[in-house]
């Protein structure tokens, strides 16, 4: 069964380039970006793994751990890591899970049976500290993932978890936000949004980002 947003993601124990990982224990109280790959030594994925390594300071600022997955074994991953460092000028600083038995791929429904089983293992999962699934993105093999977008979504999720707002189209950290429709009491609105807000329509009210 496919995982749906809000589901508790399944735990697993699997070999990785950082040793055996029990996913729940490794994740701890952090957010997690789990992103999968069809196989080692693939060109688009090589660029992605290097990009994520360079973004580690941005992930750290957001209390996010990154973990990759590929269906090859640890020895293959370690060889690939050398190529990634050479071609992307980035040393891998997060684990790559080894999934030759497809245990994790199957658990997380990464393999699409109506397409090539290898080239479709390219999904991104954003998981919160409660092990709830908050985002999935599945990319075609020809298109590299946009990790700036993934960081943007994490910013939105973390903001909207703590404040009674949602984020509009193309929102970036620091932009105005939408007040959630469930808030209607004027006194509550005044208390929650001391910077004020603009009523564009009764259902569309904009306010400066509350934590800025």
Asked if 164 and 190 touch (Cβ cutoff 8 Å), the reply is no
Q: What are phi and psi of 160, to 5 degrees?
A: -75, -20
| Residue 45 known to be catalytic | yes
Asked if 38 and 121 touch (Cβ cutoff 8 Å), the reply is yes
- The span from the CA of 125 to the CA of 123, in Å, is 7
Asked if 97 and 14 touch (Cβ cutoff 8 Å), the reply is yes
Instruction: Write the Ramachandran bin of 190: left for phi over 0, alpha for psi from -120 to 50, otherwise beta.
Output: alpha
Give me the catalytic one of 45, 53, 104, 150. 45
Sheet holding 31-37, edge to edge: 96-98, 64-70, 31-37, 123-127, 133-138
Sort 186 into a burial class: Cβ within 10 Å, 0-12 / 13-18 / 19+. exposed
H or E element that contains 70 = strand 64-70
Q: Retrieve residue 72's tokens.
A: 């090859």
Tokens 């006194």 -> residue: 187
Q: Which residues are catalytic?
A: 45
């Amino acid at each position: 069964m496919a995982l749906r947003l809000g589901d508790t993601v399944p735990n697993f124990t699997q070999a990785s380039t950082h040793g055996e990982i029990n996913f729940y224990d490794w994740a701890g109280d952090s957010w997690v970006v789990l992103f999968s790959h069809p196989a080692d030594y693939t060109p688009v994925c090589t660029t992605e793994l290097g990009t994520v390594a360079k973004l580690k300071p941005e992930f750290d600022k957001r209390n996010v751990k990154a973990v990759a997955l590929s269906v090859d074994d640890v020895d293959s991953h370690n060889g690939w890591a050398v190529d990634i460092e050479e071609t992307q000028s980035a040393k891998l600083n997060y684990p790559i899970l080894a999934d030759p038995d497809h245990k994790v791929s199957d658990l997380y429904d990464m393999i699409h049976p109506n397409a090539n089983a290898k080239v479709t293992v390219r999904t991104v999962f954003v998981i919160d500290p409660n092990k709830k699934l908050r985002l999935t993105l599945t990319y075609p093999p020809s298109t590299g993932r946009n990790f700036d977008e993934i960081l943007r979504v994490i910013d939105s999720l973390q903001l909207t978890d703590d404040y009674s707002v949602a984020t509009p189209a193309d929102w970036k950290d620091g932009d105005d936000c939408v007040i959630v429709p469930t808030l209607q009491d004027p006194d509550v609105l005044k208390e929650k949004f001391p910077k004020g807000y603009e009523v564009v329509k009764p259902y569309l009210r904009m306010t400066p980002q509350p934590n800025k």
